[in-house]
Amino acid sequence: MGPSQFVSHCTADAMVVAAQKLIDGHLVAFPTETVYGLGADATNEMAIAKIYAAKGRPADHPLIVHVHSMHAMGDWADEIPAFAIALARDFWPGPMTLILNRSSLAQDFITGGQNSVGVRVPDHVVALALLSALHGLGGKGIAAPSANRFGHVSPTTAQAVKDELGSYLNEQDQILDGGPCTVGVESTIIDCTGDMPKILRPGAITAEMITTSTGLEVLDSTGTSIRVSGSLDAHYAPAAQVLLDQQPLAGQGFIALVATATPQDVIRLASPNNDVEFAQSLYASLRKADELGLTHVVIEQPTGSGIAVAIRDRLKRAANGR
C-alpha cells in the first residue's frame, strides 16, 4: 500500500498510537465483527472529508458513528426513546446501528445534512480497544463506513482493505489487522426516531430479535425519507455481473449452499454449510471472482428468515451492479 503503514500486531500500545492518529486527523482502517471500517475522528470535518475522498463517496451519504459503550450514545443523540435503550442494552456491543435524533455534536458532515445520526458499539476486540483508547484521549467516537471504494464489495479482511484502498491512503494513515470478520455483512440499521422501530437495512439483528427486545412491532422501510449507508439500489457489487437463482454456465462463478452440486466446468467460489457461513464468506467470494477475472457470478440465494434476509438484500443490490 505504498508508504502507508500496515499494522498486523494489535497491541495495547498500537491502539494508543492509532487513536492518536485519529485525534491528529488521519484515517485508520479497523476490523469490526461485520466488515472492516475506514475510520476518522467523528468530530473532525477535515478528517471526515478524507474518508469521502478515499472512498469516492457522495457527500450527502451519512456516516455511522462508532462509540466505546452505550453510555456514549447520549453524546451524539437527543431524546433517546426507551425502546432504543432496550435495544442498546440487549445487542451492544453488536451488529446493530441505531438511527437517533442528533445532538449538536453530530454535525452535517456526519449526518449528510439530516436531523438524525447513526450510532453503534461494534463487537470486536480491536475495534473496542481502539475506541477505548480514543475515549482515553478525549475523543468522542469514530465515524466509519466500510473500508472500500463506494459501491464496491465491502472488505472482510485487512488484505482486502489494502488491495482496495492502499493507493488512496497516505503514509500517516493506518490499517489494523484483526483477522477475518465473523458476521460478514453490515449491521442492521434501525430507525429509532419514531414511535416504533423500523428496519432501514437488514443484518444479523433480525425483526424477531427486535420485537423480543422491545415488545414492539417492527415496521419496514416503506416511505422512509432517512438516507442510510448501503441503501442505494446498486451497491456491494464486484466487477463481475451478479446473476441470481439461475443455472450457471461453463466458465461462470458459482456460490451456493453445500447441498447444491457444482455443474461441469463451473467455477465454485464458495460452498457454505449454512446461512451464517454464507454471510461470512459472501464478500470474500465476490472478491475472488474479480481476482480470477470472471465476467459472471451466479448465486443461489438462501431462503427463509434470520440473516438470510440480509444476504438477499445485499445480493439484490449487487445484481444491479455499480
CA 233, 284, 204, 308: dihedral to nearest 10 degrees? Answer: 70
Q: For position 7, what pLDDT does the model report?
A: 55
The tens digit of pLDDT for each residue in 154-163 reads: 999 999 999 9
Q: Which amino acid is at 125?
A: V
The tens digit of pLDDT for each residue in 6-42 reads: 555 678 889 999 999 999 999 999 999 999 999 999 9
pLDDT bin (cut points 50, 70, 90) of residue 58 is: confident
**Mean pLDDT of the chain, nearest integer:** 94
What secondary structure does DSSP assign to 51-72, as a single string?
Answer: HHHHHT--TTS--EEE-SSGGG
Question: Is residue 244 pLDDT above 50, yes or no?
Answer: yes
Question: Is residue 266 pLDDT above 50, yes or no?
Answer: yes
The answer to whether the bond into 93 is cis (omega within 30° of 0) is yes
Q: For position 235, what pLDDT does the model report?
A: 80
Q: Residues of the chain with pLDDT > 70: what percent?
A: 97
Strands 96-101 and 188-191: parallel
Domain limits of the chain?
A: 5-214, 241-318
The tens digit of pLDDT for each residue in 109-127 reads: 999 999 999 999 999 999 9
**End-to-end C-alpha distance for the chain, whole angstroms:** 24
Question: Is residue 321 pLDDT above 80, yes or no?
Answer: yes
Question: Is residue 93 pLDDT above 90, yes or no?
Answer: yes
Q: Which residues, 6 or more positions from 174, have their beta carbon under 8 angstroms from its beta carbon?
A: 4, 5, 7, 18, 21, 26, 27, 28, 29
Neighbouring C-alpha atoms within 13 Å toward the C-beta of 95: 24
Q: Which CATH class is domain 5-214?
A: alpha beta
Strands 253-255 and 267-270: parallel
Total count of residues recorded for the chain: 322
Q: Which CATH class is domain 241-318?
A: alpha beta
